[in-house]
Every structure is written in structure tokens, then in C-alpha cells.
């Protein structure tokens, strides 16, 4: 079994930044040489999540609006009352979205639909550089 | 390590169809011969998701009602304004639910509770045949 | 490839109990000897979920409040009308949160942020002992 790890750095912090990392995921799978296996994308930290979406501005705005209904920025959060961070909404959104995503690798590519992109959603409201890990695990082609 | 891949096709498109694929997942694990490992169920595309639920009509209706609170069908979506698909709600629901699920395989079976089923939720509102992938990864029994 | 499985038992049932299992996950990874791989935490059953969060009382209260907006305890559920369990809200929350989480193992440790804990959220309203599985899959250090 082969295990290959890559690290990205993403700049964000304006509140619910949505980064398309599909190209980076595909490149990591290709670099690994894995033909059949599993690729896991993980954003360490408690204010970001990973999912897939069609990366076009309309849907991205629609996703932000749904998250605003679920965990509005403007309401009171116990986290903010205790710690003064102002990012209680970000913690809640991240816990609900989930911090990682695993997809099958088939014939050397992450399995995705034609209009489906892998995104890291950075909910935080402070400028920050965020680390994202891409791990590819599986079998390489046999010679 | 053994990697085994199966593909299902599901017909749907009436809006938030919930398909029980538990039997197909268990059959794929059995067919793989994997005794200990991980099974991943993935619905490629940006308008479907995968999770688990007790597959009885009451809970399924309750889940649909919660999704309707989260991303109602009847409100305006920027995606629909741009593309005219009328399925903006489906994209948002799918991104929030997540496109894949990985479960441990223990003693040749996917690990599930007694009243827990694996479901593919197809949110789309157009009739379509949807492809679902089941990947089993792990060790076969030693002779 | 090495596959290592551990089982926890958690007591809960007061409604949306949030258990920090980070230490148990790290211990399972260490016990496995796996240096590079994937760890999956899975709560079998249809009324619990797994995610990550900063485990401090403020954020936990904020998460509970968001779940209450999404699937309130006090509204009518079709599941309860059929089965009288009174835990329809728990089924819906669990389906939306998801029953399992997979994280990369890097240098013998589950990859997490400094303020990020792995939590099992038990939504059920009846006292119960809940089983949680931790599976570590990967390569051990080479001698």
C-alpha cells in the first residue's frame, strides 16, 4: 500500500471563504501514483470544513445564505461571550459541515461528477493562512 | 491490500428521493472478500448526498421537513437566477449533507446499528439515472 | 497494511450529549503502531453523530442551539407519531451530522488543530450505553 501526503496553504479570513481545491486534489492523486484507493482532504482547525459543490458564484451565494439561516453571524454566541473572538458562528458552521472528506480514487483520479468541485470552506473572520492536508492511500499500478 | 469497486444505478429525480442502499453495500463487502477494512459509498454529482438513517417513512418525512427548513424549495436561489435549473435547493442540500460516507468493515460486514440504513439522497428535481459507487478497501481473510 | 479496531462505551441519553473522545482516538492510533494512515470514528446507531469542535462549554451550547433551530425537540415528528419514541428530533439531527468521521494519521497521530477535538454527539433522550468504534488503518513504521 502507498500513502502520499501533501499540504496546501490557503489565505482567507473574510468569513465563509470557499476555496476550490479540486485541481490540487487531482494533482496530489497523480503525484502519488495511486491508481485505486481513497483520497482524504482535511482542514485541521475548528473553524473550517470540507465538502463538494458546483463551483459557480450563484450556488456559492446560496450556500452562504443557508449557512446564515443555520448559524447567523449576527446573533449572540456563548463562545463569543466567553472568549470575545466574534467567531462563534464559524465554530458552529464548521462542526455541522465536518472537517474532512474522503473520496474513492478510480483509475488514478478522484471520483467526481462533471460539475462537482472539492471545496474548503474557511468560516473564520480573521485573516489567516490555513493548512489543508491531502492524503492519498491505495495501490499503485503494477508494472 | 484488496480494493473492490461496484457501481449502482438509481432512478430518481422527484426531489429529495431517499434510496436505501444498505443491502447493496453489504453485498459489495461480501463480494470483495474483505474481512477488515473500510467501505466508502459515494454519489458523484453535486445534487446528491450520502448518510445513514432508520429507513421508516416517519423519519424520512421528518428529514425532508428539516431539509426544507434549511434550504426551502420555494425561495429564490442565485443558482436558479443564473442557470434556470430550478434545483438551487438541491445543490445547497447536497453540499451540506456531503457526497460520501465511509464505514468500518468488521468481520466481513459494514458496521451499522440494528436500525441504521445507508441512504443515498437524490435531491434533484429532474428524472435522472444516478450512478453510485461502493468501494471496499482492506484485508481479506488469511487462508 | 495494519488494521486495528477498538471499541468504547459511552453513557448518555439526556439529549444531545457531546462526548470528547480525542484522547481515546489518539490512544488507539498509538496502540495500533500505525505511523501513516487513516483513523475512522463511527457511532453505530441512528441517533448519534461524529464531528469535530473546540470542546469548550460556550461552543457546545452554541452547537446545541443551532441543532435546535434545525430540528427542534418541541415540534411534531412523524417518527414519534408512528413509534412513540419521542426521539424523532434525534434521528433527524444524526442523519444531518453523519455517523462517522475519517481523519489522516500523520507521524503516529490523528491530524487535528490545536483547539480541535473529536466528539461523539449522542442525541437520544433515553439513558443508554452507546458503543463507538475506532478503526486505524495504515502502515506501521519500518524497522
3-state DSSP assignment of residue C22: helix
Q: What is the distance in angstroms between the Cα of A108 and the nearest Cα belonging to chain C?
A: 19
Residue numbers in A near C55 (CB within 8 A): none
pLDDT at B84: 85
All 3 cell numbers of residue A115? 460539475
Sheet with strand B48-53: strands edge to edge: B17-20, B117-122, B48-53
The domains found in chain C, sorted by start residue, are 2-140 (2.60.120.460)
Q: Do the chains contact at B116 and C44, CB–CB below 8 Å?
A: yes
pLDDT at C85: 83
Do the Cβ atoms of B108 and B32 come closer than 8 Å?
A: no
pLDDT at A143: 54
- What are the tens digits of pLDDT across the range B66-94? 999 999 999 999 999 988 889 999 999 99
* pLDDT digit string (tens) for chain A, length 143 residues: 899 999 999 998 888 999 999 999 999 999 999 999 999 999 999 999 999 999 999 999 999 999 999 999 999 999 999 888 899 999 999 999 999 999 999 999 999 999 999 999 999 989 989 999 999 999 997 65
- CA dist B105 and B72 (Å) reads 36
Do the Cβ atoms of C8 and C132 come closer than 8 Å?
A: yes
Return the DSSP state at B41.
E
pLDDT at A23: 98
Which of C36, C58, C119 faces A79 most closely, judged by CB atoms?
Answer: C58
- A119 to chain B: closest CA residue: B95
Q: What is the distance in angstroms between the Cα of C39 and the nearest Cα belonging to chain A?
A: 11
Q: What is the distance in angstroms between the Cα of B81 and the nearest Cα belonging to chain C?
A: 26
Closest C-alpha to A96, from A86, A108, A88: A88
Residue by residue, DSSP assigns chain A as -EEEEEEEEEEE-SSSEEEE-HHHHHHHHHHHTEEEEEEEEE--SSSEEEEEE--SHHHHHHHHHHHHHHS-TTS--HHHHHH--S-HHHHHHHHHH-SEEEEEEETTEE---TT-EEEEEE--SS-EEEEEEEEEEEEEPP-
Grid cell 485505486 — which residue?
A36
Other Cβ atoms less than 10 A from the Cβ of A115: the count is 14
- CA dist C21 and C5 (Å) reads 15
All 3 cell numbers of residue B121? 439522497
- C67 to chain A: closest CA residue: A70
Do the Cβ atoms of A56 and C37 come closer than 8 Å?
A: no
Sheet with strand A48-53: strands edge to edge: A17-20, A117-122, A48-53
Closest C-alpha to C44, from C7, C17, C79, C12: C7
**Residues with pLDDT less than 50, chain C:** none
pLDDT at A142: 66
Residue by residue, DSSP assigns C96-138 as HH-SEEEEEEETTEE---TT-EEEEEE--SS-EEEEEEEEEEE
- Which residues contact residue A84 at a Cβ distance below 8 angstroms, ignoring those fewer than 6 apart? none
- Which residues contact residue B88 at a Cβ distance below 8 angstroms, ignoring those fewer than 6 apart? A58, A59, A62, B77, B78, B79, B80
Q: Do the chains contact at A106 and B46, CB–CB below 8 Å?
A: no
Q: Mark out chain B residues that contact chain C at CB-CB < 8 A.
A: 1, 36-38, 51-54, 56-59, 61-63, 66, 69-70, 96-98, 101-104, 106, 111-113, 115-117, 119, 138-139
- What are the tens digits of pLDDT across the range C108-140? 999 999 999 999 999 998 998 999 999 999 999
pLDDT along chain B (143 residues), means of 10: 96 91 98 97 97 97 97 95 90 98 98 97 93 96 65
Do the Cβ atoms of A43 and A100 come closer than 8 Å?
A: yes
pLDDT at A14: 85
Query: ipTM more than 0.85?
Result: yes
Q: pTM for the full model?
A: 0.97
User: Which residues, listed in sequence order, are joined to residue B106 by a DSSP beta bridge?
Assistant: B109
- CA dist B96 and B99 (Å) reads 9
Which of B1, B54, B113 faces C44 most closely, judged by CB atoms?
Answer: B113
Q: Mark out chain B residues that contact chain A at CB-CB < 8 A.
A: 1, 3, 5, 38, 40, 42, 44-46, 70-71, 77-83, 88, 91-92, 94-96, 98-100, 102, 133, 135, 137
User: Which residues, listed in sequence order, are joined to residue B6 by a DSSP beta bridge?
Assistant: B134
Residue numbers in A near B70 (CB within 8 A): 66, 69-70
Residue A30: C-alpha distances to residues A25, A41, A108, B42 (Å): 9, 15, 6, 20
Amino acid at each position: 500500500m502507498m500513502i502520499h501526503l501533501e499540504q496546501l496553504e490557503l489565505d482567507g479570513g473574510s468569513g465563509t471563504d470557499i476555496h476550490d481545491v479540486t485541481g490540487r486534489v487531482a494533482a496530489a492523486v497523480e503525484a502519488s501514483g495511486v491508481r485505486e484507493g481513497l483520497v482524504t482532504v482535511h482542514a485541521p482547525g475548528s473553524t473550517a470544513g470540507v465538502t463538494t459543490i458546483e463551483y459557480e458564484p450563484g450556488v456559492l451565494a446560496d450556500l452562504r445564505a443557508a449557512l446564515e439561516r443555520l448559524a447567523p453571524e449576527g446573533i449572540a454566541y456563548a463562545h463569543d461571550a466567553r472568549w470575545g473572538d466574534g467567531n462563534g458562528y464559524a465554530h458552529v458552521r464548521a462542526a455541522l459541515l465536518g472537517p474532512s472528506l474522503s473520496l474513492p480514487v478510480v483509475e488514478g483520479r478522484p471520483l467526481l461528477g462533471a460539475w462537482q468541485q472539492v471545496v474548503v470552506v474557511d468560516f473564520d473572520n480573521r485573516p489567516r493562512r490555513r493548512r489543508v492536508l491531502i492524503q492519498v492511500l491505495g495501490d499503485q499500478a503494477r508494472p
